[in-house]
Amino acid sequence: MGRRIAKAGLAAGAALVLAACGGGNDPTTGAGTAGIGGGGSEAGKGDGDGGASRTASLARPDSLTVAFCQTIESGDGGRGYQVILRSFAAKDGAFVGERSAAMPPNAEPAAGCESDGPSYRVDLAFNKDLTLVAGSVDSDRAAAFDLATGREVGAPDPDSFTKRPENQGIAFHPVTGRLWYDMQTEDFQSTDGLASRDPKGGLKTEEQTPFEKIPDLLEKDGPTAVTVLALDDIHAVAVPGGGVVATSTTDGGVSLSRASRTSNGVGSGSYLTDIATAGLDENNKVFCEPAFWRNATTLVCDFKQLTFSADYKRLLKTEDLVPENDRHNGQPVLAPDGRSFAFLSRGEDGRTGLFRGDFSGGAPVKITSVDPPVPDEDHLRTTLIRWN
DSSP assignment of 316-369: EEEEESS---SSEEPPPEE-TTSSEEEEEEE-TTS-EEEEEEETT----EEEEE
- The rounded distance, in Å, linking the Cα atoms of 192 and 212 is 9
Neighbouring C-alpha atoms within 13 Å toward the C-beta of 69: 25
Phi then psi for 122, rounded to 5 degrees? -65, -30
Backbone torsions φ then ψ of 134, nearest 5 degrees: -85, 150
Chain centre to alpha carbon of residue 187:
25
Q: Helical H runs in the chain?
A: 10-21, 214-220, 222-230
pTM for this one? Answer: 0.85
Residue 108 in contact with residue 149, Cβ under 8 Å? Answer: no
Amino acid at 354: L
pLDDT in tens, 261-304: 999 988 999 999 999 999 999 999 999 999 999 999 999 999 99
The chain-wide mean pLDDT, for the chain, equals: 85
Cα–Cα dist 42/212, whole Å: 51
- Which is higher by pLDDT, 265 or 133? 133
- The b/e string for 293-305 (b: 16+ C-beta within 10 A; e otherwise) is bbeebbbbbbbbb
Closest CA to 140 of 176, 115, 110, 114: 110
Q: What share of the chain in percent tops pLDDT 90?
A: 69
d(CA 65, CA 206): 29
pLDDT band at 187 (very low <50, low <70, confident <90, very high): low
- What DSSP state is assigned to residue 223? H
Q: Which amino acid is at 252?
A: G
Q: Look at residue 333 in the predicted model and tell me its pLDDT.
A: 96
Look up residue 186 and give its amino acid: E
3-state helix vs strand vs coil in the chain, percent to 5: 15, 35, 50
Instruction: Give the number of other Cβ atoms within 10 Å of residue 77's Cβ.
Output: 13
Q: Is the pLDDT of residue 379 over 70?
A: yes
Residues with Cβ < 8 Å from 27, sequence gap 6 or more? 33, 35, 36, 37, 53, 86, 98, 100, 373
Q: Model confidence over 201-255: pLDDT tens digits?
A: 999 999 999 999 999 999 999 999 999 999 998 999 999 999 999 999 999 999 9
The yes-or-no verdict on residue 33 having pLDDT over 90 is no
Task: For 69-103, write each residue's pLDDT tens digit.
Answer: 999 887 777 889 999 999 999 999 999 999 999 99
Q: Is-contact 96 81, C-beta < 8 A?
A: no
Cα 9 to chain center, whole Å?
27
Comparing CA positions, the residue from 271, 303, 310, 272 lying closest to residue 288 is 303
